[in-house]
Amino acid sequence: MPITTCVFDAYGTLFDVGAAAAQAAKEPEHPALATVWPAIARDWRLKQLQYTWLRAVAGRHCDFWQVTQDGLDWALEANKVTAPATRTRLLELYWELAAYPEVPAMLAALKDRGLHTAILSNGSPAMLDAAVQSAGIGDLLDKVLSVEDVGVFKPHTRVYDLVGQHFGCARNEVLFVSSNGWDAAGAAGYGFHTVWVNRAGEPLDRLYAAPQHVLPDLTKIPELA
Burial of 157 (0-12, 13-18, 19+ CB in 10 A): middle
**Does the active-site annotation cover 9?**
yes
88-126: b (≥16 Cβ within 10 Å) or e = ebbeebbbebbbbeebeebbebbbeeebbbbbbbbbbbe
The number of angstroms, rounded, from the C-alpha of 121 to the middle of its chain's C-alpha atoms is 6
Residue in 9, 16, 43, 183 annotated catalytic? 9
d(CA 204, CA 152): 25
Catalytic residues: 9
